[in-house]
A and B are shown apart, each in its own frame.
Chain A
Amino acid sequence: MIKMSKTKKKDLMIDVMLDVVVRDKDGNIVKTIHKRCESYVRQFLDILQIQMSTDQNTVNDTGTPTARTVIVASENFNIKGTAGLNTYGPVVGTGNAAVTISDSKLGTIIAHGNSANQLMYGLTSIGAVSVVGSTASFVISRTWTNSSSTNPITVNEVGLYCKGGSYYYMLDRTLSTFAIANGGATATVTYTISVTV
């Protein structure tokens, strides 16, 4: 039997908190959410393992899904999705099925645009690493605007997609429900990723 050391009890985590701020068309805050993300999913470990081993492996993409061969690359983990794209960076959807470790995409991703049931995807920004006390953290944020005819659009799930080569992979999926009114209301999602000694 393996003995667990009695001297080192603290869990190590790469912690991820999710903040959502919903504003009306005039900029007034109408809802806030602060919660711990449900989980990274397996693709996070798949890509971390590829990078740590400088090897290659197959990873399910955010499509059908399809198992893609991912090689060690400088672009792996790239989440800096540009405005107007819902292929990587934080993404939102309407699915509400429970998260599983093998999830490779959102249940139903919301498309970019101003047609019915679409949201306008803003730029993804990634902040600087800061150290406060014994915690190092950085934030990832993105804003969506409802310029569609659908009032409101209800989001049930938030995901974090990254780019690797020509394909995209889901790193995290968290259930969170908030409604964005049409006519210019917005929702901003902020992931705070941290490690604490």
Chain B
Amino acid sequence: MATFKIYIDVKVTDKDGKIHKHRRVRCHSFVRQMMDVMACQMGQDTRSTKDYLAASINCTPQTTAFDVSSISGASLFGILLGSGQTPVDISDYKMEGLFSNGTGGGNTLMYGACCTGKVAIVGSTATFVIDRTFVNHSGGTVDVHEIGLYNYYNSKYFLLERTLHDISIADGAYVNVTYTITITV
């Protein structure tokens, strides 16, 4: 039986470099846009989908299909964090309360670069990881409740996956979020 699984590892490190918490979460799910982009690429034709602004977009095959490799300092795509707590729905097209990049107080985090590792094979499992680190210099504790994965797609941004998970990040602490994508035969 095919198994295609995604785990999220969340590692919180305090301002002194001590690991405060390490949790592994099974993702809730890809949402509809994942199927839209996949169908578009597989069929090499135009599909209607919805970007994070709720705009209806004619999605055509793109070089950037599935691109999550965001630079640091940007909170538009790659792994993103937010404050929303509403249960995940297949039709979600954005995170509920996205944290912006910055140090300006309130719900802001400094976004590192979003990096993607190579595929590795161990036994009958193939795996690769997507990784991003966030630092809290907001001046107060930031409480994360949702993790999302956004795709940059020809100047648009699509939510591919959204998972609820609670993370508390003290001022000066940082959190490393790693998606591990696996296929096992």
Instruction: Give A contacts to B, CB under 8 Å.
Output: 2-5, 7-16, 36-42, 44-46, 48-49, 51-55, 57, 72-80, 99-102, 126-129, 131, 133-138, 140, 162, 172, 193-197
Which residues of chain A come closer than 8 Å to B55, judged between CB atoms?
none
Of A2, A57, A140, which contacts B22 at CB under 8 A?
A2
CA separation between A136 and B184, bound complex, in Å? 22
CA separation between A18 and B134, bound complex, in Å? 41
Closest CB-CB distance, B78 to chain A, in whole Å? 9
With A49-B118, A55-B116, A136-B35 known as contacts, the answer to whether A40 contacts B90 (CB < 8 A) is no
A197 and B90 contact, CB distance less than 8 A: yes
CB<8 Å pairs between A and B, sample of 19: A5-B165, A11-B5, A12-B27, A38-B2, A38-B185, A39-B1, A45-B128, A52-B116, A55-B116, A72-B63, A72-B64, A78-B41, A99-B185, A101-B185, A128-B47, A129-B32, A136-B90, A140-B42, A193-B35
Of B63, B66, B163, B185, which contacts A100 at CB under 8 A?
B185
B32 and A78 contact, CB distance less than 8 A: no
B44 and A78 contact, CB distance less than 8 A: yes
How extensive is the interface on chain B, given as a class?
35 or more
A138 and B39 contact, CB distance less than 8 A: yes
10 closest A-B pairs by beta carbon, nearest first, are A126-B43, A53-B116, A51-B66, A77-B41, A42-B126, A197-B29, A74-B61, A39-B185, A12-B27, A195-B30
B164 and A8 contact, CB distance less than 8 A: yes
A79 and B30 contact, CB distance less than 8 A: no
A49 and B22 contact, CB distance less than 8 A: no
A12 and B185 contact, CB distance less than 8 A: no
Smallest Cβ-Cβ distance to A191: which chain B residue:
B42
> Does any Cβ of A come within 8 Å of B96's Cβ?
no
Closest CB-CB distance, A38 to chain B, in whole Å? 6
Q: Beta-carbon contacts of B64-90 to A below 8 Å, as 1s and 0s?
A: 111111000000000000000000111
CA separation between A15 and B30, bound complex, in Å? 11
Which residues of chain A come closer than 8 Å to B88, judged between CB atoms?
197
Instruction: Given contacts A8-B164, A52-B116, A101-B121, list 14 more A-B pairs with CB under 8 A.
Output: A2-B9, A8-B28, A11-B26, A12-B6, A12-B30, A14-B38, A45-B119, A45-B183, A74-B41, A76-B41, A77-B38, A126-B45, A196-B29, A196-B90
